[in-house]
Structure 1
């Protein structure tokens, strides 16, 4: 019975020693074997591993991609318009030995604090070299890439690989919003006033050119019409002269009819003139000729 108890005790001790000397590394983890605080082995491949029981300990770190959100940071771009910026980063442990030396016993918490300091410094450096309009425009993508590249270089000292950096928010501080909006409104109103002034200047110039062109066109048209009218009057006088030379009686007849037409225009025209006036010479001669013709006809009958 005593021998059985001894064997059981030895087996139990052996089991404890065996369990203390082996450990399992998960595929999502990276492990370090420490002896009195010194790194003795690095276990990054998943599976079963061994260590010296009671003398060595195992420290495990998450090997997956992790995220870090920075606290709201106030930066001042080149145009002195303050912005409140929120950013986040994606990172993972690339060198577990370097990570242990840099972070010490603080582990992930210490590494995140130091990584956040790096990101804040790069955010201030990169965003401080450009204007606020660049930060608030599509140029932000290029700025984020600059911050990421600079953070990658500095994070190597932590044994960390920075995968990506993104700016979540870039807004004006609440106390500056009203003043900024007022300034933006004043600038837009000034630009609108300049555009209106330029438009009015252009409109006046176009109107002046149009008025001058219209005056030139009208003057040329009047000149051409006067020339045509003068030529027509000359042609008419020539025709009249030829007609007068060919048949003086017809010309007198036409001129008399024209005179009667001009004198008796209107619906209620009245003309007071003596019957033996020269104005009615042609009518009197026509009436006399008609009377003589009537008398001759009567005598013949």
Structure 2
């Protein structure tokens, strides 16, 4: 019983020592084994490994592709039109030993600022060698590939591989946006004014053509109307002339009756004229049986 009580603490100590002497390498990790701070082995194969407790130090790094977003960066292309650029990068640790020597105990967090400085330098260099139109166009993929390729050589000294670089946003600085919008607005207003002027000019031409067509149509109709009316008057006069030539007395009687009809109208019509006027020839004949008015008297005719 006493021996068992003695063995239990010993077994516990042995288990603790064994557990601290064993470590596992995941397939998503790169592992460095250090002996008093000096790298003695780089382990990339997953599995179970042993170390000497208190003498060996195990450093693990993520072997997957990591993401990094850069802070907004102001660049000046060839045309001196400043742009604010946001970019992001995909990177991974390619050489754990070099990475350890370059960044020390900072690890991934210590590597990010250094990678960002490298990317910012390449962004300024590449984007500064082209115009802003090339940066804002859909053909900027070649520019991003140049930034990636040029960043790789710098990042290799850190034991890092730049997998990809992309530009998320390329805009004008805030202080320049309003001026740019004003220029765009003025340009659109000028184009609108030009379109309105051209529309008014076209409308004026159409209106003038319509007015001319109206005048020509009315003139043509008036001319035809005058011709028809003249032909009708000529036909009427010919009929009258024919009738007059056949019976001159009847024609004179008809004309007198027409004159009486047009002149003796209304309820209070009065006429004063000489009794010897030819206008009363047929009226005088009509009053012959009752006697004529005395000579020198002016008859008054009322209806």
Q: TM-score, normalised by structure 1?
A: 0.65
How far does residue 118 in structure 1 lie from its aligned partner after superposition?
2.4
Q: What SS class does the counterpart of residue 59 from structure 1 fall into?
A: strand
Q: Which residue of 1 aligns with 2:296?
A: none
* Aligned mates of 1:49, 1:247 — CA distance in 2: 151
Which one has the bigger helix percentage?
1
* Aligned mates of 2:266, 2:30 — CA distance in 1: 120
Q: Which runs of 5+ in 1 are unaligned?
A: 293-301
* Aligned mates of 2:77, 2:213 — CA distance in 1: 54
Q: Which residue of 2 aligns with 1:213?
A: 213
How far does residue 161 in structure 1 lie from its aligned partner after superposition?
2.0
Q: Which residue of 2 aligns with 1:237?
A: 237
Over 3 Å counting, the alpha-carbon distance change for 1:43 and 1:224 in structure 2 is same
Aligned 8 A contact 2:126 2:147 in 1: no
* Aligned mates of 1:121, 1:269 — CA distance in 2: 115
Residues 176-226 of structure 1: CA deviation (Å, up to 9, x unaligned) = 355445444443443344334333333332332233222222222222222
Q: Which residue of 2 aligns with 1:298?
A: none
Over 3 Å counting, the alpha-carbon distance change for 1:77 and 1:58 in structure 2 is same
Match of 1:162 among 164, 170, 173: 164
Question: Superposed, which structure 2 residues align to 1:155-234 within 5 Å?
Answer: 156=152, 157=156, 158-162=160-164, 165-167=167-169, 170-174=171-175, 176-234=176-234
Q: What SS class does the counterpart of residue 160 from structure 1 fall into?
A: strand
Q: Which residue of 2 aligns with 1:95?
A: 94
Residues 49-79 of structure 1: CA deviation (Å, up to 9, x unaligned) = 4568788654322345544232222234676
Q: What SS class does the counterpart of residue 190 from structure 2 fall into?
A: helix
Q: Which residue of 1 aligns with 2:30?
A: 30
* Aligned mates of 2:142, 2:71 — CA distance in 1: 20
Q: TM-score, normalised by structure 2?
A: 0.65
CA-based RMSD: 4.6
Q: What SS class does the counterpart of residue 88 from structure 2 fall into?
A: strand
How far does residue 129 in structure 1 lie from its aligned partner after superposition?
2.8
Residues 20-57 of structure 1: CA deviation (Å, up to 9, x unaligned) = 4x422345533345677668434264x43456878865
Q: What SS class does the counterpart of residue 272 from structure 2 fall into?
A: coil
Over 3 Å counting, the alpha-carbon distance change for 1:10 and 1:198 in structure 2 is same
Q: Which runs of 5+ in 2 are unaligned?
A: 1-5, 292-303
* Aligned mates of 2:24, 2:147 — CA distance in 1: 33
Over 3 Å counting, the alpha-carbon distance change for 1:160 and 1:227 in structure 2 is same
* Aligned mates of 1:76, 1:95 — CA distance in 2: 33
Aligned length: 274
Residues 93-144 of structure 1: CA deviation (Å, up to 9, x unaligned) = 2735597389553543325532564266447745953449x84xxx6xx367
Over 3 Å counting, the alpha-carbon distance change for 1:55 and 1:102 in structure 2 is closer
**1:251 paired to 2:251:** yes
